[in-house]
Amino acid sequence: MFLIVEDIRKGGGRMALSTKGLMHLFVVYVVWSSTYLAIRVAVAPGSGFPPFLMGGTRMVLAGLILLALAAIGGHRLKMTKDEFIRTAIAGVLLWVGGNGLVVWAEQSANSGFACLMVSSSPIWVAFINAVQARRLPSPLLIASLLLGFAGIGVLMAPAIMSGNAAEFSSGIALTLAAISWAAGSVYQTRCPVSLETPVASGYQHLISSLGFFLLALIFQEPVPQPTTSAWAAWAYLVIFGSVLAFTSFVYSLRLLPINIAMTYAYVNPVLALFLGAWLLDEPITAWTIAGAVMVIVSVFGIFRDRYRQEQRQANADGARQVASTSTE
């Protein structure tokens, strides 16, 4: 995801609002918010779907569909050895680590809580980048990071105070999921491949499915016996979560200004909370609201700091161009 954002940003230029782009963004709002609810339905106690087998079968079919669409579009499917290695590393971090931990955690965690915890990924991305840069972040970034980490703590507070081992374990797993997704995003940005986006994503899905199946063997998951609702949730995750919403996200980035396209980061957690409360009767507590506000404001601050840095860099590049022209 973050690789796409970086590539679009480098293109530069202003983009006017597009009705088609806004429609695709609406799909991203609704579908990506509801995938956490679908995961909860698919792996909740009594669903008959073990978490890693559910995730692995989803990854296989979604990957095949993405590669089939890429083939129809005439994209190159053959990978070099280097592209395979980079795609595999990104796929394991993003899908096995990121999505796999979410699937495991949602056996007991509410879908809205899961979405809120994973929405902290931009906070971890900023933290990883700041550590790798080895320079003092801006005051805005420092404040945003501290607020984001405090928000994660607030979201985890009820599980810590209650001493509920299952809730606490789920919270830790979701925190690790956000970190893994952030690490995969940073790696994907810094070690890109020349494959088209649907091709890279398709291979990531297929490669990550091997990781899911390996975990299913390690944990000796039983043969799936999904209920009708679990099958429906699984199909929704394959078609809408992995294929439709992903495609819509790419189009929204191409057709809309980046600051509009990235608003999904603020909308999805709120909408996921609403959907979980409406359809699954998940409680929304004062802790949830406070933590959600802190995380969302933190993400906004991080995006704002990133925008300021890019503006300063663009101004510096422009000034150097003018100076170079005037000396010729």
Taking the C-alpha atoms of residue 43 and residue 111, their distance in angstroms, rounded to an integer, is: 11
pLDDT digits (tens, 9 = 90+) for 183-225: 998 998 899 899 998 899 999 999 999 999 999 999 999 999 9
Residues 198 and 69 sit within 8 Å (Cβ to Cβ):
yes
What is the dihedral angle through the alpha carbons of 163, 50, 55, 148, rounded to the nearest 10 degrees?
A: -10
Q: Is the pLDDT confidence value at 9 over 50?
A: no
Q: In whole angstroms, what is the distance from residue 150 CA to residue 160 CA?
A: 14
Contact 309, 155 (CB under 8 A): no
pLDDT higher than 60, residue 309:
yes
Residue 249's pLDDT is: 85
Q: Decide: 93 and 250 in contact? Cβ < 8 Å.
A: no
Q: Which of 244, 296, 232, 236 is nearest to 266 (CA)?
A: 296
Model pLDDT for residues 234-293, shown as the tens digit of each residue: 999 999 998 998 888 878 877 887 678 778 888 899 999 999 999 999 999 999 999 999
pTM of the model: 0.87
Distance in angstroms (rounded) separating the CA atoms of residues 97 and 225: 25
